[in-house]
Homo-oligomer: A and B are copies of this chain.
């Protein structure tokens, strides 16, 4: 665990901070597709992502979903963090997109380190900053773009976080993430295929040139 922490956080965390994380943190490996945090849950641990990717989504009262953003190596979930501090329930759901390695840090340590380590403070701030910016991008995309543009951006981003040109999802799954219907996604994907930007198969999509 020490080596992995060092390679991901070595430049921003002080040595004694790394030591403390090793001492109190719990390393967990999670396969793809697991819900590691759900709406309404109380948050007792803060996750530091060592490898893999996590998708963070929002749900409304009717159970409709919307993908907010992905978390990648070295990142943490600020929304979760905010919940820790405020002792409130989680406002979001987090699902592993790929296999991931996570260090779980108990919440009380967060505050302690905040006063103690400049590296930690900066990290926490940067995380908030990044999350706010991601959320702003999400707002931009749903407010200012139409579905074809959003779909293209979604496919690109997905290919990036999974490090795979082949999107291994059904149209229905994509529709859930973008909060629309399967038929609409099939329609738009077909259009993209006709434009030679991708090739459609059952259960997966081969990106050619987006």
Interface residues of A (CB under 8 A from B): 58, 60, 62, 64, 66, 68, 78-79, 82, 85-86, 91-92, 114-115, 118, 121-122, 125-126, 128-129, 131-133, 135-136, 138-140, 142-144, 179
A64's contact among B82, B125, B142, B144, by CB below 8 Å, is which? B144
Interface SS of chain A: helix
A136's contact among B58, B64, B115, B133, by CB below 8 Å, is which? B58
Q: CA–CA, A136 to B135, complex, Å?
A: 8
Are B79 and A132 in contact, CB atoms less than 8 angstroms apart? yes
| Chain B residues within 8 Å of A92, by CB | 136
Q: Which 9 A-B pairs have the closest CB atoms?
A: A82-B129, A60-B144, A135-B135, A128-B128, A66-B143, A85-B125, A86-B129, A142-B143, A82-B132
18 A-B residue contacts at CB 8 Å?
A58-B139, A60-B140, A60-B143, A64-B144, A66-B143, A82-B125, A82-B128, A82-B132, A85-B129, A86-B126, A86-B129, A91-B133, A91-B136, A128-B128, A135-B136, A135-B139, A138-B139, A143-B179
